[in-house]
Structure 1
Amino acid sequence: MAPGRTGSWAAVLLFAVSVCRGWSLPVQEKEVWGYVDVREGAHMFWWLYYANSPSFKDLPLVMWLQGGPGGSSCGFGNFGEIGPLDTDLKPRKTSWVNAASVLFVDNPVGTGYSYTDSEKALATDVSMVAADMMVLLQSFFSQRTEFQTVPFYIFSESYGGKMASAISLELTKAVQKGSIKCNFAGVALGDSWISPLDSVLTWGPYLYSTSLLDDYGLKEVTQAAKDVQQAVQQGQYQKATQLWSVTENVVEQNTNGVNFYNILTQQDDDDLVKFSADDQDYLIALKRRHIKPLHGQSLSELMNGPIRKKLGVIPKNVTWGGQAEDVFSSMSGDFMKPVVDIVDELLSAGVNVTVYNGQLDLIVDTMGQELWVKKLKWEGLQKFNQMKWTALEDPESAGQTGAFYKTYKNFAFYWILKAGHMIPSDQGEMALRMLKMVTLQE
């Protein structure tokens, strides 16, 4: 498949097209998509929605990166969180397309509609992920020259934040060298896997403080987390990933199956996986906990049915999400490595960095996020820590606080209340307002 091969859904057609299973696909004002061959045997899919505005150039361009690794931005991020349509193909009132042009990329290769010709072509670490993304962005901005001067932001979620950090640093270098022409304006790290160990070490205290662990459970979770810490300190990252999954199992057993993505909900019994520390099936448990939620049956039917038909460029041998678990497995050795140093480099380089986190998230709890932020060597950290946060009113509940935030120079932190790991899904109005603030529209 040739680099840059694209398709489009004609803007002049103002009717809906009925397809199988009773789905109907409302036509968006303007959208384009395509593939870029980022390496030999590695094909990355992207999908762009132009902003709903008389002039899209008056609004920023936002690239959304999903987590996992293996979660599809073009699927889950698009239809499950911030795209113009939800999974029932109904218009989303809180779509980010109302405030920006949005570029979804199925990243790393093998995710969503992206695919590789063999497992050997899958990415193994964030450096490889960043290198692949540079190829895609160079192709995108070369072909879509209308976006070269538009402020470009990278927004992310979960493991997507870890990848976004590495991508942002490489993009900053590429822009300085002139190899990619774009107006890079900043990166936003949402519930992001920046310092995995800080997240794991705070699971126990967070759950205990919210009455989801008793003293006995706190002791068990703390000990399991310390085992992860020891593996990380010894540089045994594959083992740390395995022990991290064991720690999740300990959490589930002591909380009666708390949902890692929102502590006010509970996992189904079918999703609970038990295994020992020596069990080689730990990756199966991880995939079930962290890939399966991003590939629900209804979304898979949508993406492999009507959407696939609409796009018209997906190869016959490619199934949406078909390589997702392989992506996760391939990245497992890199999974527990921190990238706090990369965030420090971004801040030192003058890149605008925003951290935002959901109050009810466990997998990347706010306590853990605050811990790694305090470890930054950024020269503005002391002043940032001395500042008081500012309350933001909940757009959906007048007089109620929806979030807090504070910002100093090129760093900002948003604490989003009543939201779990997927903030736009839980608090769509608040997430949209945050987007506008980060992109200087408020």
Structure 2
Amino acid sequence: MSRALSCIVFLLAILVWISHGRRGYGPGEQDWGHIEVRRGGYMFYWLFYTTDGNVSSCADRPLIIWLQGGPGSASTSYGNLGEVGPIDMDSQIRDSTWVKDFNVLFIDQPLGTGFSYLDNLTKFSENNRELGKDLASFMNGFYSRHREFQKVPLHIFGQSYGAKVASEFALQLQSEINSRLMSVNLVSPWISPLHSVMSWGRILFTIGAIDDRLYSEIYVAALEVGHLIKRNLWSDATNQMFTVQRLIAAQGIDLYNFMEPTENTELRENQLMNGPVRVALNLSESLQFESFSNVVFESLSYDFMKSALNTVEQLLDGTSLKVNIISGQLDLICSTLSTVHWIKKLKWSGRNAYLSAPREAIIVRDKIEGFQKTGGNLTMFWVKNAGHSVPLDNPRAMSEILKTVTLQYN
């Protein structure tokens, strides 16, 4: 009887593992759905279980959360199809997908982005604290639905404005929900917007992309952003930031990789998500997917140019979390130059240890793909041959960074 019972328990364990996921769009086990994070606010997620054949359970590998930026860009499309998911924009298998080694959770945030939606269109989030609160609420619902991940190491990755959101989300998650959050990873981070804007003209002039006359014009326009910020005219500062961007874009320069021609993937994303993906996931046609939500951006335009330096300082001094900053050296909009500058402005107990630490090479297959520097619980990664979308532009370097970030906790 005891032996029979043991067999039943074993079979049930296998069934639990098998039944974790569903067949979705692309290879591997997946799950997706909406979680109500506040009354009338439903956040969409798309979970990919690891395809690592060397583990007996998904719980043997960490869970990575990916938060896209914008605000208003969808994680389930650009982050997933565009950068790290198992299928790319051309519906081809991605060799460098993170799903090979990790469970990856894409969340369409803020509410109103991608397949996430609001019953009441006046309830859009207006600041970073509200975004963090919604995501903490999401994780509470996610852990209730996916208990297999409650004790699994968790790593948050946020790109661009998503990095700003990730910093607040990590802070709230750490204090409010019982999880195994290990690190927050700020990829091409929009943390100190004014530092970013002030760096644009200097970088372009240095590499010979603009002449001194246009440099002066960009510099004066960028200074005006700072003046508006000092007067707390935050929406005006956001609009003026776009004025600076237009001066640059008129030269045919891509702010996301100043060495590459501009490429817009919104149409392809929308066609893919509203077509094959919607069918595969059996989602209602009433949900109209947009790769970028202007309404979401407008609701956060007052908060857009506000710094999140204080939040990063709280993460460094108020938690035991590892804070990793990942910067592509060809990125302009969240430039490496500006990132190095705002890191020096951080006020925290490990500041001197970080600033005095050596910068070491990241070597992959006998080739230097970047550099890293660690002091206290802060690490910065400089990534060569990469713009804003580091995982897409230099997957070799990103793979090595992932090992550094995650394997130390296993």
**Structure 1 length-normalised TM:** 0.84
What is the rounded CA distance, in whole Å, between the counterparts of 1:441 and 1:89 in structure 2? 33
* Partner residue of 2:243 out of 239, 243, 246: 246
Does residue 377 of structure 2 align to residue 410 of structure 1? yes
Retained in 1: the 8 A contact 2:78–2:291? no
Q: What aligned pairs does 1:88-127 form with structure 2 within 5 A after superposition? A: 88-127=90-129
Retained in 2: the 8 A contact 1:141–1:181? no
* Partner residue of 2:201 out of 201, 204, 208: 204
What is the rounded CA distance, in whole Å, between the counterparts of 1:8 and 1:307 in structure 2? 20
Retained in 1: the 8 A contact 2:74–2:291? no
Tell me which stretches of 4 or more aligned residues in structure 1 moved more than 4 Å. Answer: none
What is the rounded CA distance, in whole Å, between the counterparts of 1:204 and 1:89 in structure 2? 37
* Partner residue of 1:375 out of 334, 345, 352: 345
Number of residue pairs matched by the alignment: 387
* Partner residue of 1:191 out of 157, 167, 188: 188
What is the rounded CA distance, in whole Å, between the counterparts of 2:407 and 2:20 in structure 1? 30
Does residue 248 of structure 2 align to residue 257 of structure 1? no
* Partner residue of 2:297 out of 316, 328, 351: 328
Q: What aligned pairs does 1:226-305 form with structure 2 within 5 A after superposition? A: 226-253=223-250, 256-267=251-262, 293=264, 296-305=266-275
What is the rounded CA distance, in whole Å, between the counterparts of 2:191 and 2:339 in structure 1? 8
Q: What aligned pairs does 1:207-226 form with structure 2 within 5 A after superposition? A: 207-226=204-223
Residues 283-321 of structure 1, C-alpha deviation per residue, up to 9 Å, x if partnerless? xxxxxxxxxx4x522221111011111112x33321111
What is the rounded CA distance, in whole Å, between the counterparts of 2:169 and 2:58 in structure 1? 24
Q: Match of 2:387?
A: 420
Retained in 2: the 8 A contact 1:65–1:161? yes
Deviation at 1:441, TM superposition (A): 5.4
Q: Which amino acid letter does the alignment assign opposite residue 406 of structure 2?
A: T
Q: Which amino acid letter does the alignment assign opposite residue 332 of structure 1?
A: S
Q: Match of 2:15?
A: none
Q: What aligned pairs does 1:353-368 form with structure 2 within 5 A after superposition? A: 353-368=323-338
What is the rounded CA distance, in whole Å, between the counterparts of 1:301 and 1:215 in structure 2? 42
Q: Match of 2:33?
A: 34
Residues 101-148 of structure 1, C-alpha deviation per residue, up to 9 Å, x if partnerless? 101000001111111123202111111111111111001112211111
Deviation at 1:323, TM superposition (A): 7.1
What is the rounded CA distance, in whole Å, between the counterparts of 1:323 and 1:266 in structure 2? 20
Deviation at 1:361, TM superposition (A): 0.4
Retained in 2: the 8 A contact 1:35–1:46? yes
SS in 1 for 2:407: coil
SS in 1 for 2:345: coil
Retained in 1: the 8 A contact 2:26–2:86? no
Retained in 2: the 8 A contact 1:224–1:250? no
What is the rounded CA distance, in whole Å, between the counterparts of 2:139 and 2:287 in structure 1? 23
Q: Structure 1 residues 243, 440: closer, same or farther in 2, change over 3 A?
A: same
Deviation at 1:248, TM superposition (A): 1.0
Q: Which amino acid letter does the alignment assign opposite residue 47 of structure 1?
A: W
Structure 1 gaps of 5+ residues are 1-6, 12-16, 18-24, 175-179, 269-292
The 10-residue stretch of structure 1 (321-330 or 202-211) with the greater mean CA deviation from structure 2: 321-330
Deviation at 1:8, TM superposition (A): 8.1
Retained in 1: the 8 A contact 2:34–2:42? yes
What is the rounded CA distance, in whole Å, between the counterparts of 1:399 and 1:165 in structure 2? 34
Q: Match of 1:401?
A: 368
Retained in 2: the 8 A contact 1:112–1:322? yes
Q: Which amino acid letter does the alignment assign opposite residue 206 of structure 1?
A: I
Q: Match of 2:9?
A: none
Q: Which amino acid letter does the alignment assign opposite residue 313 of structure 2?
A: D
The 10-residue stretch of structure 1 (213-222 or 412-421) with the greater mean CA deviation from structure 2: 213-222
Q: Match of 1:77?
A: 79
Does residue 147 of structure 2 align to residue 152 of structure 1? no
What is the rounded CA distance, in whole Å, between the counterparts of 1:79 and 1:266 in structure 2? 20
**Structure 2 length-normalised TM:** 0.91
What is the rounded CA distance, in whole Å, between the counterparts of 1:410 and 1:148 in structure 2? 24
Q: Match of 2:10?
A: none
Pairwise CA RMSD:
1.8
What is the rounded CA distance, in whole Å, between the counterparts of 1:151 and 1:192 in structure 2? 23
What is the rounded CA distance, in whole Å, between the counterparts of 1:183 and 1:267 in structure 2? 39
Retained in 2: the 8 A contact 1:353–1:411? yes
SS in 2 for 1:182: coil
Does residue 259 of structure 2 align to residue 307 of structure 1? no
SS in 1 for 2:371: strand
Retained in 2: the 8 A contact 1:221–1:250? yes
SS in 2 for 1:439: helix
Residues 247-299 of structure 1, C-alpha deviation per residue, up to 9 Å, x if partnerless? 1122234xx2200000012337xxxxxxxxxxxxxxxxxxxxxxxx4x52222
What is the rounded CA distance, in whole Å, between the counterparts of 1:100 and 1:420 in structure 2? 24
Q: Match of 2:316?
A: 347
SS in 2 for 1:67: coil
SS in 1 for 2:380: strand
Q: Structure 1 residues 31, 267: closer, same or farther in 2, change over 3 A?
A: closer
Retained in 1: the 8 A contact 2:21–2:49? no
Q: Which amino acid letter does the alignment assign opposite residue 375 of structure 2?
A: Y
What is the rounded CA distance, in whole Å, between the counterparts of 2:393 and 2:221 in structure 1? 30
